[in-house]
Amino acid sequence: MNLSTAVVLGGVAVDGWLLGLVAIRGRRPWLQATFAACALSFLVAGASFVGRNEGLLPPVREDVVLGLLLLTHALTAILVLGLIHGEALPRQRAITFLLLAPVPLLASLAPAEGWTVAAAYEGNVLGGFLVLCLGVALAETIYARHASPMFAAHAFWMGVGVVSLIVAGPVYVYELELLGQAPLVGANVAAPLALACFARVALLTDPYRISPRPIRGRNATAELTTSDEIVFDERRPKYALRTAEHEALSDRATLLVGRGPPRMTTSGISTASVPADRQAALRTMTTAAEFLGSFPGGLLVLEDLADLAALSGWKPALEVVVRLRHLARDTGSTVVLCPSRLTESERKGLKDLDLPWWTLPDPATELVAILKQSFGTGAVRLFDAFCRAHGLRPEDVTTDHVPALQEFLSRALTELSGVVGGPAAHGLRSQYEAAASVLRSFAAQGAVDAARGKWPSRKATDANVEFVVTAADYWKGKEMEELFAAADALSEPEPLFERARTVFVDQLGEAGEGVLRTQLARLGKKPEDLSKADLVRIADRAAVDLGSLADVVDLPQEKDRIHRQIESIRKNLVLIAEGPE
């Protein structure tokens, strides 16, 4: 076995390994199939070369070897286009596959025209087609590098792969001819390098894992039917998450993309978590392309565009926005963006794209405004009492908490009924019923209705002002104050979250609440849903996490102090879990 045969044989082994790697690690079926076809063509061509040189195979017809050579070049161009354009290639650029059409024709014409593999790159139709395929691949990589900030780094590696094929293909053949040496008929020694570059791009731009996999498409009862990209401008992505939940319940394929686990989930919502990765923008784009390409008419919610801007930069993030709009229109789908944490300059850049921009209210602000219509300035006090009783931060309150708020107000009135009677009790009950009616109406509004701007905080309260003032004059304000006091006294029989929060804060200070909420997020629970069984799990997980922190501390005194805090937190949480309600 001579050196050239050994090199080609080693390349065949590398080709096979790369083929298996992409087949196992990849998550894009169409791209995996294209890579497999390209790698197999190089592998078969190399194996054929080794078999002929070593006498392991009988002489192969010239047109068959030429067919393999043509196939490797055509599939290389298609693979490069697939890496750049993703799953949209068969749908938007199907003309690319016409590169395969001349392969059997040129191979069949080879005997009549006198074309040989040794002279494949000469100035004829055959050589022109081979150079055209490599030229298309190289031109696409150069264009992608200069036109796409998001894809520039990957385009470089793809360019390396294509250039290596050119150097080891036509350039190498011309050099051997000048030196009077025989070329490597049908084999390309740079194939492993090129496939390695292509595999690198394919794996680094793989979509995020989607769980669970959706099985449905658009349903007639969907709330958002626009095939476009919509910006949900809200303080926190509350309506965006609620819309995702509603669409999933209406049997529409729905994907929620965010940095961590979603704060609210329901059966039917698919999720994809974005890790701390410089390729976040590009991988989010490939995830969206794979999802909406597989489930046309679906809904994609990007929980916070600022995450992509922070991880990949603003220009790649903005490119994702532009591409997502084209993708939504092409697949008849809807994409929802949440710009809640973008800077002013970034928001301005986003507005310059002229996307549909829906300004949405903050539910907490609107709930306070509704309470003010019936209870005046004491509404803030009522709302704060409700948040304390349910272990909620005001900014975490959504329209899903409206039933709990109504029940809380009803209980406060019930507690007060033994103290206040007659016209005062009737007046308070009327105010409660008026507030409850408006609360139910507001909670029933979806993003489409809320985007019209008819919010409680923007409505004039003239219709209720006279009634409230008259009641206050009659009651001299005493009964209203007693209502607020009754609300303050309600604590939802010692909420577990507040008791657990006290344990963490006593030992860790203000950071303790953050530790507790982190553990809640891992459990996928909201504060009001915390159970005693959850406390035991939180105690175990917090002990492990804080124990890891203690292990990196060098000072023995500090390490002992942290271990004492861990033991105290664990013991107190177990006591709460085992104690009475």
Angle at 365 between CA 359 and CA 369, to 5 degrees: 115
Low-confidence ranges of the chain (pLDDT < 50): 460-477
Helices (H) and strands (E) in the chain, counts: 25, 6
User: What is the pLDDT at residue 464?
Assistant: 47
Cβ count near 396 (within 10 Å): 19
Token representation of residue 383 = 């709302």
The pLDDT tens digits for 245-297 are 888 888 889 999 988 765 555 567 888 999 888 899 999 999 999 898 888 88
With 0-12 CB in 10 A as exposed, 13-18 as middle and 19+ as buried, what is 11? Answer: buried
User: What is the pLDDT at residue 483?
Assistant: 55
Bridge partners of 300? 255, 335
pTM, to two decimals: 0.75
User: What is the pLDDT at residue 154?
Assistant: 94
Which has the closest alpha carbon to 361: 454, 435, 444? Answer: 454
Name the amino acid, one letter, at 265: T
d(CA 569, CA 500): 9
For residue 300, give every residue at least 6 positions away whose Cβ sits within 8 Å of its Cβ, in sequence order, or none: 254, 255, 257, 288, 291, 292, 324, 328, 333, 334, 335, 336
Q: Cα separations (Å) of 447 from 126, 166, 359, 362, 369?
A: 59, 54, 9, 12, 19
Give the sheet arrangement for strand 357-359, strand by strand: 269-273, 254-258, 299-302, 334-337, 229-233, 357-359
Angle at 356 between CA 295 and CA 302, to 5 degrees: 45
How far is CA 447 from its chain centroid? 21
d(CA 492, CA 239): 27
User: What is the pLDDT at residue 429?
Assistant: 78
Token representation of residue 493 = 């029989």
| Residue 255, SS3 per DSSP | strand
User: What is the pLDDT at residue 416?
Assistant: 62
Which has the closest alpha carbon to 158: 171, 167, 145? Answer: 145
User: What is the pLDDT at residue 133?
Assistant: 92
The pLDDT tens digits for 285-335 are 999 998 988 888 899 999 989 999 999 999 999 999 999 999 999 888 999
| Residue 520, SS3 per DSSP | helix
d(CA 311, CA 326): 23
